[in-house]
Amino acid sequence: MTFLPFTRPSIDEETIAAVGDVLRSGWITSGPKVKEFEAALSDYCGGRPVRAFSSGTATMQVALTLAGIGPGDEVITAPLTWVASASVVLAAGARPVFVDIDPVTRNIDLERIEAAVTARTRAIIPVDLAGLPVARDRLYAIAGDHKLRVIEDAAQAFGAQWRGRRIGATGDFVSFSFHANKNITTGEGGALVLPQDVDAGLCERLRLQGVTRFADGSMDADVLGGKFNLTDIAATIGLGQLKRLAAFTQRRRELAHRYFEHFDELAIAGLELPLRDFDNSNWHMYQVLLPSGSRRGQVIAAMKEHGIGIGVHYPALHLFSLYRQQGYRAGDFPQAERVGGQTITLPLFPAMQDSDVDRVCTALAAILKPSA
């Protein structure tokens, strides 16, 4: 029985050959391929300036610096996300302020944000969980009313849209991730879409140790930067992936449709399916909530016995030790805790066959309905 992972990147032979060409060229760190990739990403984002980075975490870290966020400031975000969404706030010396999620979208509950705004609030980091965008019109209305910067954690939303407009084509800062499990990958990497009021040159200096090089060979460093540059090897993979984005997204939607069809037929009591949004989501992940009382660890182990890999994305962030040290406790965000405690991520990636979905659904039903 072939093991089915919950995700797997699809790298074609043309891209593999192109990476070989880069390796043979001798220019393997940041160079012409990075510039080409940034230009392609800018075109995808409607001509907005885009800079490539070594990770989606680095993009948010630099965005916070560009937004002027620092000690004493507060940044609102969701507790149901990967740790990076809040850890970058701590790294900036600011305080992450969590707001509970909407149980339907599983994204930050926009109607709860204003109650969390204080005199110290400077920004919002909304998270597009599983590739389903936060409602951008309402988000930016709130941000505008309170004069807050927005750093969109769109790590999972590349290829998604909101009301017909691509994520990245509008808004304030937009952060993408191209990690190996994302809808397009560079192996490791990310990109930051910049608003018009931000100096792209400063962004570049923050990305690479604050250094500016001059034509006469001299250089200067005027800011404290990091080492966050993308390599030409990674950019070449990204260029190959970007060409296939539309096909990848279409296949993900087809697989998600098939999941819904099977689960509707199986009618597993207590199993909660994701929101059926085929207009906006890129279907980065297909996540279900296990029936109350199910032991997730046992379900994951049983699925593995069926040769099927399961992910967990994500436990409620405020329950981690680092955030308990910030004063957060169990019970603070009940919706995030419930979803975070019951969610499993089922296999979903473009190379999957329809029969793989059938296999996953049949196995999960057998585990959750043992008497059937």
CB of 297 closer than 8 Å to CB of 367:
no
Here the tokens at position 196 are 């018009």
The count of C-alpha atoms lying within 13 angstroms of the C-alpha of 76, restricted to the half-sphere facing its C-beta, is 29
Query: How far is residue 97's CA from residue 225's CA, in Å, rounded to a whole number?
Result: 26
Q: What is the pLDDT of residue 372?
A: 44
DSSP 137-167: HHHHHHHHHHT-EEEEE-TT-TT-EETTEET
pLDDT in tens, the chain (372 residues): 799 999 999 999 999 999 999 999 999 999 999 999 999 999 999 999 999 999 999 999 999 999 999 999 999 999 999 999 999 999 999 999 999 999 999 999 999 999 999 999 999 999 999 999 999 999 999 999 999 999 999 999 999 999 999 999 999 999 999 999 999 999 999 999 999 999 999 999 999 999 999 999 999 999 999 999 999 999 999 999 999 999 999 999 999 999 999 999 999 999 999 999 999 999 999 999 999 999 999 999 999 999 999 999 999 999 999 999 999 999 999 999 999 999 999 999 999 999 999 999 999 999 998 754
Six token digits for residue 370: 């043992």
DSSP code, position 274: P
| DSSP per-residue codes, 24-60 | HHT--SSSHHHHHHHHHHHHHTTT--EEEES-HHHHH
The answer to whether the Cα torsion of 340, 365, 132, 251 is positive or negative is positive
Mention every residue, 6+ apart, whose C-beta is less than 8 A from residue 98. Answer: 76, 77, 78, 79, 86, 317, 318, 323, 328, 332, 333, 336
CATH class, range 13-242: alpha beta
Residue 17's CB is within 10 A of a number of other CB atoms, namely: 11
Interatomic CA distance for residues 215 and 21, integer angstroms: 28
The tokens describing 142, both together, are: 């709130």
Three-class SS of residue 306?
A: coil
CB-based contacts of 86, cutoff 8 Å, min separation 6: 77, 96, 98, 317, 323
Q: For the chain, give every domain's residue range.
A: 13-242, 245-368
Domain 13-242 matches domain 245-368 at the CATH topology level: no
The greatest distance separating any two alpha carbons of the chain, rounded to the nearest whole angstrom, comes to 78
Burial grade of 312 (CB within 10 A; 0-12, 13-18, 19 or more): middle
Enzyme catalytic residues: 182
* Dihedral angle sign, alpha carbons of residues 235, 240, 244, 246: positive
Query: Which among 235, 344, 325 is positioned nearest to 6, based on CA atoms?
Result: 344
For the record, the structure tokens of 141 come out as: 């209305």
Scan for tokens 């909530």, then name that residue: 289
Residues 245-368, CATH architecture: Alpha-Beta Complex (3.90)
pLDDT of 27: 93
Q: Alpha carbon of 78 to those of 83, 106, 109, 153, 181: distances in Å? A: 10, 10, 8, 10, 21
